[in-house]
Amino acid sequence: MRKPLIIVTGVDPTAIESVMTSLVWDLPRVVSIRHTIDPVGQTLTRVVSSIDGSLDTTRVDLEHACVACAIREDILPTILRYAKDPAWDSIIACLPVSAEADHVSSVIARDAVIARHVRLASVIAALPSTDVAQYLLSHQSLDEYGLHTGPDDSRSIGEASCGQVEYADAIISSDRMNDGDRAFVQALARPDSSIVMGVENVNAGQLLSGRHMSSHAYAWRSPRSDFDLPDLTVRGAWRIDLKSPRPFHPERLLDHIALMDGPFRSRGCFWVPTRPEAANSWDGVAGQLSFGPHSWWHPHTPLTRLILTGVGNPPVHVGKVFCDLLLSVPEMNLDSTSWMQAEDGLEPWLGEIHRAA
């Protein structure tokens, strides 16, 4: 019999602990597994407990302090070990602070051995109770607060938090959110995700009986998503969907990219004529923007699309800036050899052209 698994993600350690404690109290015969990463000491700490107290505390030296190593070396093996233990009916796994659940969920979906013993029921994003929109739009670096997952983790608090909310089946705040915060969370989250305000309102049984679909979750937050966005049903948040079959002009992108950034969440994909086969990701939050190579377009048609989400008044200039960054009709009509350049200025982010194309 497969054991149901609930994965808890978050950037705020207190919010993670609050959700985990609530679930442990509500579910019978449940074991909780909490992992933390020390990116400086290159160690992973595993704490296993139940409602009766601590069962195991172990420190694991990592070859490289990163989430991928932690998942491979201890997180998944520990989940599998307790899934095989008849003493437990269900499992709660709290991932390291700021880690995303997509890699764990995709491995569980693909690995026949793990899938034989584990059913991923729900992925949770735990949020603090106050100033949630401000938290999700924070430009402060994770490493400023010791919340990064490894020495190469340069994400902001907002980038990590938004990614978790966009992927989760359930978003749980420690207490009630104000209307504006709730509206922003709803605008970011998948349309079929649930939003729970206050850990005392969590329906643990419902979370346990669910079934997380990694492909469904990834489709919502994939940079290359091409579906139509549903209308927002709450006031207080806005969403702007910018898309075109045309690519960005590489020089204009470099010169004016800052104009597409601001106090909002932006994500999506783009392509440039100097690298026509490459799909590139766009990931931005409140002044911090990153982009890089994602995949290849073939056999799909290239697309440039940015989804902007925020609160308050939407920016009025982004639509024009987006259009200005795109190749004009005369530029689109140029022979493709006109764009066969040795370099285009995007090498620091996209790599050398001969490697990316």
DSSP letter (8 states) at residue 287 = T
Same domain, 172 and 73: yes
E strands along the chain, which residues? 3-10, 30-38, 43-50, 53-61, 90-94, 118-127, 170-173, 194-197, 237-244, 265-270, 278-285, 288-296, 304-311
pLDDT, the chain, mean: 90
**What pLDDT, on a 0 to 100 scale, did the predictor assign at position 214?**
87
Same domain, 169 and 302: no
Contact 6, 208 (CB under 8 A): yes
Choice among 57-61, 244-248, 260-264, 347-351 with the minimum mean pLDDT? 260-264
Q: What is the mean pLDDT of residues 241-259?
A: 92
Give 34's strand partners.
Answer: 47, 94
Summarised one tens digit per residue, pLDDT across range 102-146 is 888 988 888 888 989 999 999 999 999 888 999 999 988 888 888
Summarised one tens digit per residue, pLDDT across range 33-65 is 999 888 777 788 999 999 988 899 999 887 766
Residue 179 lies in a domain: yes
**What pLDDT, on a 0 to 100 scale, did the predictor assign at position 65?**
64
Residue 230 lies in a domain: no
Return the percentage of the chain with pLDDT > 70, whole number.
98
Same domain, 183 and 329: no
Name the pairing type of β-strands 3-10 and 90-94: parallel
Among 221, 249, 266, residue at a domain's last position: 221
Residue 291 lies in a domain: yes
Summarised one tens digit per residue, pLDDT across range 139-174 is 888 888 888 887 777 888 999 999 999 999 999 998
Same domain, 112 and 154: yes
Same domain, 275 and 244: yes
**What pLDDT, on a 0 to 100 scale, did the predictor assign at position 78?**
94
Same domain, 209 and 242: no
Same domain, 141 and 259: no
Question: Alpha helices, DSSP H only, in 237-299?
Answer: 250-256
Same domain, 94 and 191: yes
Distance of CA 352 to the CA centre of its chain: 27
pLDDT at 290 over 80: yes
**What pLDDT, on a 0 to 100 scale, did the predictor assign at position 355?**
45
Summarised one tens digit per residue, pLDDT across range 306-321 is 999 999 888 889 999 9
Tally of domains within the chain: 2
Q: How far apart are CA 284 and CA 158, in angstroms?
A: 9
pLDDT at 72 over 70: yes
**What pLDDT, on a 0 to 100 scale, did the predictor assign at position 357?**
42
pLDDT at 216 over 80: yes
| Pair of tokens at residue 87 | 């003493």
Same domain, 212 and 241: no
pLDDT at 273 over 90: yes
Give the CATH number of the domain where residue 73 resides: 3.40.50.300
Summarised one tens digit per residue, pLDDT across range 177-212 is 888 899 999 999 999 999 999 989 999 999 999 999
Same domain, 245 and 128: no
Return the percentage of the chain with pLDDT > 90, whole number.
59
Domain containing 280: what range?
A: 237-356
Q: How far apart are CA 185 and CA 34, in angstroms?
A: 25
**Which of the pair, 240 or 176, is modelled with greater confidence?**
240
State the pLDDT confidence band at 12, using cuts at 50, 70 and 90: very high
State the pLDDT confidence band at 356, using cuts at 50, 70 and 90: very low
Same domain, 157 and 297: no
**What pLDDT, on a 0 to 100 scale, did the predictor assign at position 41?**
78
pLDDT at 234 over 90: no
Contact 35, 58 (CB under 8 A): no
What would the DSSP string read from start to end of 39-98?
TTTTEEEEEEEETTEEEEEEEEE-SS-SHHHHIIIIIHHHHHHHHS-TT-SEEEEEPPTT
Summarised one tens digit per residue, pLDDT across range 17-35 is 999 999 999 999 999 999 9
What is the helix (H) or strand (E) element at residue 163, kind and residue range? helix 157-167
pLDDT at 235 over 90: no
